[in-house]
Amino acid sequence: MKENLVIPNHVGIIMDGNGRWAERRGLSRSAGHKEGAETLKKICLYAESLGVKYLSIYAFSTENFKRSKAEVDFLMNLFIEKFTKEFQEIIDHDVKVVFSGRRSPLSKKVLDAMDQLTRRTENNTSLVLNICLNYGGQIEILDMVKKISEQVLNHKISLDDITLDIVSSHLYQDLPPLDFIIRTSGELRLSNFMLYQASYAELYFPKTLFPDFLENEFMEAIVEFNKRIRKFGGNV
């Protein structure tokens, strides 16, 4: 069956449900995030083995700073630990890691870990893992508008030069459009995730909580993607 499936080029995952996964087991929310990070590694390697070329994941939204200090601190430390010590298997599989989001107010330690991982993987070619961290889709569009406006004001480009290619290349990362967005845990929202890139993405909302979203569930998602008829505004 696998051989005949169309594999989406760019998949986005909103990794929702870590907290509920932990609470249902009588564990702290942190335990859910930790397990979620394990699932992420497995899904990234599996997606790469299937031929997915771009995987964008929502690790931390600009709004997630509203969570308790303890949870935010835990997540930031988890990012540092994963990026500096535990991403080796991902690196060994030739995955290139890039980040999307605002740098401020992330701490120097987090930024250093992100920059180090970016540098270590910059020549890898099998799959691009785009980690959305301190990311908001509306703010990404706002930042893009500011960058392009600055160029116009400095006479580097004229208004007529602004094309969709120019817009795309002034987002945080110049990525192809999302083909497929998966949000786990049954919530039916995009929550500010890659709004520009999501324009014609197929959406899929499995009820599974993210830590349980393992290879078999990812394959089910791909099978579902293959049932969709994509029209891109045309009529077939």
Active-site residue, from 64, 124, 143, 212: 64
In angstroms, the CA 200 to CA 219 distance is 21
| Binding range to ligand FPP, per CB under 6 A, among 14-22, 168-176, 190-198, 219-227 | 14-22
In angstroms, the CA 36 to CA 19 distance is 10
17 binds ligand FPP (CB under 6 A): yes
* Core vs surface per residue 129-156: b (16+ CB within 10 A) or e: bbbbbbbbbebbeebbeeebeebeeeee
DSSP E strand boundaries for the chain: 10-14, 54-61, 95-100, 127-135, 180-183, 202-204
Active site residue 134: no
In angstroms, the CA 171 to CA 219 distance is 30
Whichever of 53 and 67 has its CB closer to ligand FPP, that residue is 67
19 binds ligand FPP (CB under 6 A): yes
Q: Which of 5, 61, 51, 56 is nearest to 177 (CA)?
A: 56
Residue 59: both structure tokens together = 């690790």
Active-site residue, from 16, 18, 179, 192: 16
206 binds ligand FPP (CB under 6 A): no
75 to 114: interface string for ligand FPP, x by CB under 6 A: ---xx--x--------------------------------
Whichever of 96 and 170 has its CB closer to ligand FPP, that residue is 96
Torsion of CA 82, 85, 88, 91, to 10 degrees: 70
Q: How far is the CB of 201 from ligand FPP (least distance, A)?
A: 19
Return the residue of 31, 98, 110, 131 that touches ligand FPP, per CB under 6 A: 131
49 to 78: interface string for ligand FPP, x by CB under 6 A: ----------x----x-------------x
Residue 4: both structure tokens together = 């005949």
- Residues designated as active site: 16, 64
* Binding-site ranges for ligand FPP (CB under 6 A): 15-20, 33, 36-37, 40, 59, 64, 78-79, 82, 131, 210
